[in-house]
Copies of this chain bind each other. A is one copy, B any other.
Amino acid sequence: MKSKNNPGNYFEDFVLGQELRHATPRTITSGDVALYTALYGPRFAVQASAEFARNIGFHDAPIDDLLVFHMVFGKTVPDVSLNAVANLGYAGGVFGVPVYAGDTVSTVSRVIGLKENSNGKTGVVYVNSVGRNQHGEMVVDYNRWVMVNKHNPDAPAPETFVPDLPSVVDPASFKIPVGLDLSGYDCTLAGSAHFWDDYAIGEKIDHVDGMTLEEAEHQMATRLYQNTAKVHFDQVSANQGRFGKRLIYGGHVMSLARALAFNGLGNAFRILAINAGSHANPAFAGNTVFAWSEVIDKFDIPGRNDVGAMRVRLVAVRDRAAADFPLRDDAGKYDSAVLLDFDHTVLIPKRP
A25 touches B39 (CB 8 A): no
A219 touches B220 (CB 8 A): no
Contacts of A236 in B (CB 8 A): 210, 212, 288, 290, 319-321
A25 touches B45 (CB 8 A): yes
The contact of A226 among B29, B43, B207, by CB within 8 Å, is: B43
Please provide the chain A residues from 301 to 324 with a CB less than 8 Å away from any CB of chain B in the complex.
319-321
Contacts of A246 in B (CB 8 A): 212
Find the B residue at minimum CB distance from A321.
B236
B23 touches A43 (CB 8 A): yes
Contacts of A219 in B (CB 8 A): 211-212, 214, 217
Please provide the chain A residues from 104 to 119 with a CB less than 8 Å away from any CB of chain B in the complex.
104, 106
Find the B residue at minimum CB distance from A226.
B43
Find the B residue at minimum CB distance from A107.
B189
Is A282 on the interface with B (CB-CB < 8 A)? no
Find the B residue at minimum CB distance from A214.
B216
The contact of A191 among B23, B27, B221, by CB within 8 Å, is: B23
Is A152 on the interface with B (CB-CB < 8 A)? no
Identical copies of this chain, number = 3
Please provide the chain A residues from 62 to 113 with a CB less than 8 Å away from any CB of chain B in the complex.
78, 101-102, 104, 106
Contacts A220-B38, A230-B210; is A23 near B266 (CB within 8 Å)? Answer: yes
Contacts of A33 in B (CB 8 A): 29, 31
The contact of A216 among B31, B37, B215, B228, by CB within 8 Å, is: B215
Please provide the chain A residues from 182 to 209 with a CB less than 8 Å away from any CB of chain B in the complex.
188-192, 194, 198-200, 203, 205-209
A265 touches B4 (CB 8 A): yes
Is A351 on the interface with B (CB-CB < 8 A)? no
Cα A78 to Cα B35 with chains together (Å): 22
Contacts A24-B48, A212-B234; is A78 near B220 (CB within 8 Å)? Answer: no
Supply 28 A–B pairs (Cβ within 8 Å), ascending by A: A1-B203, A4-B265, A6-B192, A21-B189, A23-B192, A23-B266, A24-B43, A25-B52, A26-B48, A27-B49, A27-B51, A29-B33, A31-B31, A31-B32, A32-B37, A34-B35, A37-B223, A38-B220, A38-B223, A50-B104, A209-B228, A210-B236, A210-B237, A212-B215, A212-B233, A212-B234, A234-B288, A236-B288
Closest 8 CB pairs of A and B: A23-B191, A31-B34, A41-B223, A216-B216, A210-B234, A31-B31, A29-B30, A25-B49
